[in-house]
Chains A and B, each alone.
Chain A
């Protein structure tokens, strides 16, 4: 896909995030929006997946270790064709398969249940290890929050992945700089993130999480990496795309009310219009 097509897809993903969280009256829009371009690039460009055959044993895998940003994940999967986009409005409602956090038993395309921070990366490491043991060439991607990496299990998993040279593993850290209680460096600084992963034998890249050229280059470089897992530190803006949510920790886990929803959708409509115009130019 061209960058313009990816940007349009990402904006659809963002609309799905805002609509589903508004409909649920709960959920995590901030970290879903910051990761929307990453989700989009992974599912529309990078990963070998087939919505018609979501359990293909040779598919690439994705584990959302920061499981609370399920609205972004679900919106991406829906827009990619794994399930109907209309279902996003059932998010978090009683009887819906779209649980508050990813549920692999019921959601097409979800490779691992997650939500308890720090656990997803270990499962991703297990999938990557299985790929090596079975001599398969699928790749495994896992998305972590920058607050999440305060969990010790993340480093247990990283130590193992580095020690085992799992070069089929790609860890992405959504570095939006904010967690529930505030700025990550004020709560309990995980910085320098890149050097920490380097110390665990990762090939590390810092990229702009909202620049598709940079994402493309980084994932291409990751695929070429031999003997080391990759960590992509994706510098992002929490709440990206919705004016009043950007860089505001208050929107980590809160749903917009009707008025705020209207403003948010207007912001995203404006981006749509700009993208249309860019396409005509």
Chain B
């Protein structure tokens, strides 16, 4: 994919904040001493008076955002996923989720593509945590186009939203004129009949790669991009599962509680289907380059291809 444009979704996030921030003067951004890394510094440059650095105190930052939102502001809270969803989980649950406040959590550096920092900073649990909070919208964009669209959709949505972004550059796969985004809508990127691969985040691009390899073996895989983990596009997934009879989920997240679990939750109700969950298999990550880690943990095109073959 050497000729494909690549951009990290955290970059997209920073750029989108500026764009949407122009349209919404009540949009404010909070960070916890990571503005350079989360890319909220892009927003800070444009709107210094609307960027609040809270220092290294994520729990307080979430509470401040809750307070700001009660006055009509639309706060975006930013930190690494580990701290935004992990450390501040209870603040998100009680100060934002329970009162259903209009706070958006822009969490960057999610998953193992954090890379060299290692397991302490590689959050593979955030989707699971955020999914459990009633009323929380959970989104995990796959590329630059989707990340920007998700930020705008989050602002237009009244209520708490969790947005998951990555550190490493990923291919732009949604850059086409007919592209449109709606919270809760999944998209079939490749039609197939033999197996359904439901993917989110960085795994959407690698699932498409895997589908190409499968096609060479005569396996016709359907690939569904799920950006919104919650509310999940159950209808789309169930229809595809009924068609193919086999489902694979692929995510840069623990196989416990994330996309894989959400898909199983949907299928077990009305379309029980064998499901193979690709993701972090109940293990912590480790230091290494993002690409080496993605390969080691089977989230690249080759890894997904092999696991699908094994499953079939």
For residue B28, CB closer than 8 A to chain A, the reply is: yes
B91 lies within 8 A of A129 (CB): no
B99 lies within 8 A of A104 (CB): yes
Whether A122 contacts B66 in the complex (CB less than 8 A), given A104-B99, A156-B57, comes out as yes
Q: Determine how close the nearest CB of chain A comes to the CB of B92; give it in whole angstroms.
A: 11
For residue A113, CB closer than 8 A to chain B, the reply is: yes
* Secondary structure class of chain B's binding surface, majority of residues: helix
Contact among A116, A123, A133 for B70, CB-based, below 8 A: A123
For residue B95, CB closer than 8 A to chain A, the reply is: yes
Residues of A contacting B52 in the complex (Cβ-Cβ under 8 angstroms) = 129
- Residue in chain A with minimal CB distance to B99: A113
For residue B86, CB closer than 8 A to chain A, the reply is: no
- Bound: A123/B70 CA distance, A: 9
Q: Which of B55, B72, B98 has the most CB of A within 10 A?
A: B98
Whether A122 contacts B95 in the complex (CB less than 8 A), given A112-B66, A156-B59, A160-B54, comes out as yes
B99 lies within 8 A of A126 (CB): no
* Secondary structure class of chain A's binding surface, majority of residues: helix
Contact bitstring B89-118, A, C-beta under 8 A = 1, else 0? 011001100111000000000000000000
Residues of A contacting B49 in the complex (Cβ-Cβ under 8 angstroms) = 133
Contact bitstring A151-176, B, C-beta under 8 A = 1, else 0? 01100110110010000000000000
Interface hits, B39-84 → A, CB 8 Å = 49-50, 52, 54-55, 57, 59-73, 75
Q: Determine how close the nearest CB of chain B comes to the CB of A99; give it in whole angstroms.
A: 10
B71 lies within 8 A of A122 (CB): no
- Bound: A118/B94 CA distance, A: 11
Q: Determine how close the nearest CB of chain B comes to the CB of A153; give it in whole angstroms.
A: 5
Contact among A61, A121, A131, A159 for B63, CB-based, below 8 A: A121
- Bound: A57/B67 CA distance, A: 13
Q: Looking at chain B, what size class is its interface with the partner chain?
A: 20 to 34
- Residue in chain B with minimal CB distance to A157: B60
Contact among A61, A105, A125, A134 for B60, CB-based, below 8 A: A125
Residues of B contacting A124 in the complex (Cβ-Cβ under 8 angstroms) = 67
B99 lies within 8 A of A129 (CB): no
For residue A115, CB closer than 8 A to chain B, the reply is: yes
Contact among B55, B60, B70 for A127, CB-based, below 8 A: B70
B63 lies within 8 A of A153 (CB): yes
A116 lies within 8 A of B71 (CB): no
For residue A60, CB closer than 8 A to chain B, the reply is: no
- Residue in chain A with minimal CB distance to B67: A126
B60 lies within 8 A of A160 (CB): yes
- Bound: A63/B50 CA distance, A: 24
A interface residues, how many (CB within 8 angstroms): 34
- Bound: A262/B181 CA distance, A: 63
- Bound: A163/B64 CA distance, A: 14
B100 lies within 8 A of A105 (CB): yes
For residue A111, CB closer than 8 A to chain B, the reply is: yes
Residues of A contacting B71 in the complex (Cβ-Cβ under 8 angstroms) = 57, 127, 130-131, 134
- Bound: A121/B67 CA distance, A: 9
- Residue in chain B with minimal CB distance to A105: B99
Q: Determine how close the nearest CB of chain B comes to the CB of A235; give it in whole angstroms.
A: 27
- Residue in chain B with minimal CB distance to A138: B71
Interface hits, A46-67 → B, CB 8 Å = 57, 61, 63
For residue A75, CB closer than 8 A to chain B, the reply is: no
- Residue in chain B with minimal CB distance to A127: B67
B55 lies within 8 A of A160 (CB): yes
- Residue in chain A with minimal CB distance to B91: A119
Whether A122 contacts B64 in the complex (CB less than 8 A), given A127-B71, A130-B73, comes out as yes
- Bound: A160/B62 CA distance, A: 13
A123 lies within 8 A of B63 (CB): yes
Interface hits, A131-152 → B, CB 8 Å = 131, 133-134, 152
A57 lies within 8 A of B72 (CB): yes
Q: Determine how close the nearest CB of chain A comes to the CB of B127; give it in whole angstroms.
A: 23
Contact among B57, B59, B64, B94 for A126, CB-based, below 8 A: B64
Whether A126 contacts B98 in the complex (CB less than 8 A), given A57-B72, A159-B55, comes out as no
B73 lies within 8 A of A123 (CB): no
Contact among A112, A118, A152 for B99, CB-based, below 8 A: A112
Whether A119 contacts B100 in the complex (CB less than 8 A), given A130-B71, A130-B73, A160-B54, comes out as no
**Given A61-B70, A126-B68: 19 more A-B contacts, CB < 8 Å:** A112-B67, A113-B95, A119-B63, A122-B61, A122-B66, A122-B67, A123-B66, A123-B67, A123-B95, A125-B67, A126-B63, A126-B75, A127-B70, A130-B71, A133-B49, A157-B60, A157-B63, A159-B57, A163-B55
**Top 8 A-B pairs ranked by shortest CB distance?**
A126-B67, A122-B63, A156-B60, A156-B57, A126-B64, A123-B67, A130-B71, A113-B99
Cross-chain pairs A/B with CB under 8 angstroms, 13 sampled: A57-B72, A104-B99, A105-B100, A118-B59, A120-B63, A122-B60, A128-B67, A129-B52, A133-B50, A157-B60, A160-B57, A160-B60, A160-B64
